[in-house]
Amino acid sequence: PVQTNEAALNGNGVQKPEPRLNDPDTLARQIVEKLTYSIGKNPASARKYDWLRATTLAVRDRIIDHWFESADRFAEEGGKRVCYLSMEFLIGRMLRDAINNLGLTEPVREALARYGVELDMIELLEPDAALGNGGLGRLAACFMESMASTGVPGYGYGIRYVHGFFRQEIADGAQVELPENWLVHGNPWEFERRNASYEIGFGGKVSMIQEAGRPARQVWRPAERVLAVAYDTPMVGWRGRQVNTLRLWSAQALDPILLDAFNSGDHIGALVESNKAEAITRVLYPADSHQAGQELRLRQEYFFSSASLQDIIRRHLEENDNLSNLADKVAIQLNDTHPAVSVAELMRLLVDVHGFGWDEAWTITRATFSYTNHTLLPEALEHWPIHLFERLLPRQMQIIYAINAGIIREAAQEHGYDDGQVAAISLIDEGNGRRVRMGQLAFVGSHAVNGVSALHTDLMKQTVFRDLHELYPDRIQNKTNGVTPRRWLMEANPGLTGLITEAIGPGFLDDIEKIIEIDDLADDAAFRERFAAIKRQNKERLANVIGERMATSVDPSAIFDIQVKRIHEYKRQFLNIIEAIALYDQIRSHPERNWTPRVKIFAGKAAPSYVQAKEIIHLANDVGRVINADPAVRDLLKVVFIPNYNVSLAEIIMPAADLSEQISTAGLEASGTGNMKFALNGALTIGTLDGANVEMLEHVGEDNIFIFGLTASEVAQRRREAHSGRSIIDNEPMLREALDAISSGLFCPDSPSRFHSLVSNLYNNDWWMICADFKAYWDTQRTLDDLYTRQDEWQAKAVHNTARMGWFSSDRSIREYARDIWKAGPGQAG
Ligand code: 9GP
């Protein structure tokens, strides 16, 4: 038998390894051990990628020490868990984040340097974990980091896509989508957990069974079953205080191969089941503001919802006698409607599997769930055809009908709702070929529903959820988004972080709102100069990236005017391009004027099926090609579109911006989080009164942000009046000439009509208010040109922006969720 030293045993009788030490000597030794014994490489012949892996494994060991501590602490203290269900986690690279949060950046750098390996070089080899499309997915990643940093016991639940968000290339100006392959070299951060696997059913029949001595109950016999297998990634918070878990599900067939088929020679057929199962988690749907509408998507949604709920229930029953106190121990946040089917699935598990009565199950369900809405765009609101839902999830469909009947009864009997009002709140849309409305399902199944900025929350009450808000007036609340200052300031902008630390000490690293202490330094010329010098270095770094990737040279002393985000008509990249064309025209017509040099930088991906968005990308590229090559412009204006925008590129772009473009049609951008990242890094914002811009205005002050254009209510008014762009274009020569230039084929001589439909949309209805806002936008840009020539003033405003953005931290958002919605985490009775 194995001899153990009793004194060295912990409570479970298992010997615990010594926690890893963090000095460079130990790190250096352990990195080489990983290289040798885990990767099988000799240090002399190891390649950079092997060093990255070895470093990751050595760092991961240290995270594991903290992970177990967090788990032990939670087991001791009890309390409530938060489960964050999200189809998307747009994480990006993990090594830099992990070593920053563990305080290991310098020790690791030093350890690697002993072998002549540069940390900054190997970090770049790590693939981005791009398991998300944009704002919603990136918010989920910021929230995971902030939950760990603020001590909230959080579990992220999502899908382990084999192929994340597609890789974008630009060919002849147009977007080309290529598969992304982040797992091709394996993923050293994750742990496969075969013991946490659950069966997920689809299709089949429901029948009522009556067993002796028990009430009759419904039993679902699915026609198909797949296995959900868990992969866990530890997510370490600031100073390693807490490590939470991101659990991603991978789909597998119950039988990896159908041997009968194989043996009878049908080699392809033998793998059909397994291919069909694995298809569920193979690819991330690349649309952020449009419902995908396909069966596979509904399968993905149900697959990860059911697996997560089964896991939550299993864990709960390991620690508790039964499920009646589920809501005291677990808060489940539904990130958008993608996991909304969870409401029906939890009811099924409680009623059909665990024998609860309907009313008690409904009380538990509502108390457990809460739901965040991220968009008001009608085309993004999910609603599934009943026939599809019924075929794939027959028992969940019955449950939805039963929930609906209860809500309708309550509305009619207690509130006197008439048929029209009932139709408006119903979970079933009877008007469009009968569909299940997932927003309504998430709303009625939750005790709290939130929007992501003050304006968006107000608009939710007035528009998409007006009727449900009337019925449940206390349910909607606001939780303005935030971003993690660790990734978006400390890691992305070490220069600025160093300057601030020097000026006010390191207190802001633990409490970002203390960054306000640099506000007065806006009046200090020496501080401003250093602030500007750091911006300059960051601009040079971006200029190098642009030079390398696109062979275009840009001058870092010009205004770096940047719009990076998903490409969408409501985000109005088109307005920005039209302004660039108008400026181009003016520079050519008035060479004698004192123009302020500008580089307009774009990046972002379009959903592959979104024709207009792809045309906008094409236009940006075509316009850039013509302007950048025109000697008459004398480098006063450049237009560049950087391909393949992702988190890693954003980390280079955000710190390098002078001007941040947040110019969505008012009322359409739920919050925005790019706006926050830019301003935190000292960019001035040109923006509309939309999303969180409204609150940014309140925080940074009206002198430090450049607001223009129609308000949300003015936009709504114009739309009611069937506004069209024609009369504005007729009266605005600069706008007309810019549009004429596009229509004439000036930028696309190979295919002069390429952009005709984009332009004719403006004449016909100007739905996105591009014409309506053009003049105000143009004027504001010229004010900014002027301001840029007065660098002292500009830099003072930039300092005020950084100083006053502390509130827009995801730590603050998470504390609000924890206090108002989850009742979990430090200081909450759990
Ligand atoms: O478009 C919103 C964006 O405004 C918001 O900041 C983000 C996070 O709340 O969510 C975006 N929505 C989506 O990504 C999908 O609806």
Secondary structure (DSSP) of 582-596: HHHHHHHH-TTS-PP
Query: Which atom of ligand 1 is the closest one to the Cα of 135?
Result: 7
- Residue 527 has φ and ψ, to the nearest 5°, of -65, -45
List 60, 456, 487, 565, catalytic entry: 565
Query: Which atom of ligand 1 is the closest one to the Cα of 481?
Result: 9
CA dist 675 and 805 (Å) reads 10
Mean pLDDT of 643-649: 98
- What is the per-residue pLDDT across 173-201, written as a single tens digit (0 to 9) for each? 999 999 999 999 999 999 999 999 999 99
Query: Which atom of ligand 1 is the closest one to the Cα of 138?
Result: 8
Ligand 1 pocket, Cβ-based, cut-off 6 angstroms: 134-136, 139, 288-289, 374-375, 380, 452, 481, 669-673, 691
The pLDDT-based confidence of 320 (bands split at 50, 70, 90) is very high
Mean pLDDT of 275-289: 90
Mean pLDDT of 389-393: 97
**What pLDDT does 380 receive?**
86
Give me the domains of the chain, ranges plus CATH numbers: 78-93+128-481+815-822 (3.40.50.2000), 555-803 (3.40.50.2000)
- Report yes or no: 228 and 248 within 8 Å, Cβ to Cβ: no
CA-nearest residue for atom 13, ligand 1, is 136
- Residue 698 has φ and ψ, to the nearest 5°, of -65, -35
Respond yes or no: is residue 163 known to be catalytic: no
- Residue 469: its H or E element: helix 466-471
- Residue 6, pLDDT above cutoff 60: no
Spacing, Cα 496 to ligand 1 middle (Å)? 28
Spacing, Cα 594 to ligand 1 middle (Å)? 39
- Residue 830, pLDDT above cutoff 80: no
Query: Which atom of ligand 1 is the closest one to the Cα of 372?
Result: 9
List 461, 571, 638, 800, catalytic entry: 571
Residue 243's closest CA among 59, 45, 383?
Answer: 59
Respond yes or no: is residue 673 known to be catalytic: yes
- Residue 337, pLDDT above cutoff 70: yes
**What pLDDT does 2 receive?**
47
Amino acid letter, residue 606: A
The pLDDT-based confidence of 723 (bands split at 50, 70, 90) is confident
CA dist 55 and 34 (Å) reads 8
Residue 34 DSSP code = I
CA 75 to mean position of chain CA atoms? 30
List 374, 447, 469, 638, catalytic entry: 374
pTM above 0.90, yes or no: yes
CA-nearest residue for atom 7, ligand 1, is 135
- The ipTM of this complex is 0.99
Mean pLDDT of 267-278: 89
Q: Which residues have a Cβ under 8 Å from the Cβ of 751 and sit 6 or more positions away?
A: 745
The pLDDT-based confidence of 10 (bands split at 50, 70, 90) is low
Respond yes or no: is residue 480 known to be catalytic: no
**What pLDDT does 1 receive?**
40
Mean pLDDT of 225-243: 97
CA dist 658 and 660 (Å) reads 7
- Report yes or no: 340 and 302 within 8 Å, Cβ to Cβ: no
CA dist 24 and 463 (Å) reads 57
The pLDDT-based confidence of 722 (bands split at 50, 70, 90) is confident
List 96, 475, 566, 723, catalytic entry: 566
Respond yes or no: is residue 677 known to be catalytic: yes
Spacing, Cα 671 to ligand 1 middle (Å)? 7
Spacing, Cα 139 to ligand 1 middle (Å)? 8
Best mutation site among 336, 480, 671 for ligand 1, i.e. most ligand atoms within 8 A of its Cβ? 671
Share of the chain above pLDDT 90, in %: 90
- Residue 129, pLDDT above cutoff 70: yes
Respond yes or no: is residue 461 known to be catalytic: no
Spacing, Cα 248 to ligand 1 middle (Å)? 21
Spacing, Cα 675 to ligand 1 middle (Å)? 12
Mean pLDDT of 574-600: 98
**What pLDDT does 9 receive?**
52
Spacing, Cα 662 to ligand 1 middle (Å)? 13
List 150, 372, 673, 802, catalytic entry: 673
- What is the per-residue pLDDT across 480-492, written as a single tens digit (0 to 9) for each? 999 999 999 999 9
Query: Which atom of ligand 1 is the closest one to the Cα of 670?
Result: 4
- What is the per-residue pLDDT across 497-527, written as a single tens digit (0 to 9) for each? 999 999 999 999 999 999 999 999 999 999 9
- What is the per-residue pLDDT across 744-801, written as a single tens digit (0 to 9) for each? 999 999 999 999 999 999 999 999 999 999 999 999 999 999 999 999 999 999 999 9
- Residue 11, pLDDT above cutoff 60: no
Spacing, Cα 798 to ligand 1 middle (Å)? 26
Share of the chain above pLDDT 70, in %: 98
- Residue 8, pLDDT above cutoff 80: no
> What average pLDDT does the structure give for the chain?
95
Respond yes or no: is residue 566 known to be catalytic: yes
**What pLDDT does 16 receive?**
80
- Residue 829, pLDDT above cutoff 70: no
**Adjacent-strand bridge partners of 685:** 660
Query: Which atom of ligand 1 is the closest one to the Cα of 88?
Result: 14
